[in-house]
């Protein structure tokens, strides 16, 4: 095998591993930060009243910010392992979805190549 062929084969293998790793990360459903999507604030009002004032004062609002809730996850949850299905089934489903998307986009690409010839 020539030097170019070896390089081409090694690049194809590395790209395949990168795609598989990306699929694994994409299917992991990682959550960053607070799962509710925002910071929670509590607003309390304290009306102030005095007998000598003729104009009522606006209530004073104090904002108390609570730190975001960070759930504790087990290592299997962090790695994205789906507990209801076997890892082989999950990988097979992801691979099937990827191959279906690749074939669909490949067909569109080939049609776009020949669409210029037909005109």
Is it the case that residue 59 has pLDDT exceeding 90?
no
CB of 71 closer than 8 Å to CB of 30: no
Any idea how long the chain is?
119
pLDDT at 88: 85
How do residues 7-45 score in pLDDT, each as one tens digit?
999 999 999 999 888 878 777 665 555 555 455 555 556
Give the mean pLDDT of 52-81.
67
Give the mean pLDDT of 69-80.
69
Domain ranges of the chain: 76-119
Q: Which of 65, 36, 33, 60 is nearest to 46 (CA)?
A: 60
């Amino acid at each position: 095998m020539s030097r170019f062929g070896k390089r081409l084969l090694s690049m194809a293998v590395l790209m395949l591993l990168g795609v598989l790793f990306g699929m694994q990360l994409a299917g992991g459903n990682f959550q960053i930060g607070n799962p509710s999507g925002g910071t929670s604030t509590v607003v309390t009002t304290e009306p102030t009243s005095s007998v000598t004032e003729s104009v009522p004062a606006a209530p004073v609002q104090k904002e108390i910010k609570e730190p975001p809730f960070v759930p504790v996850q087990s290592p299997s949850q962090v790695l994205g392992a789906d507990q209801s299905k076997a890892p082989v089934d999950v990988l097979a489903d992801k691979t099937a979805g990827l191959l279906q998307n690749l074939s669909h986009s490949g067909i569109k690409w080939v049609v776009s190549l020949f669409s210029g010839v037909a005109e």
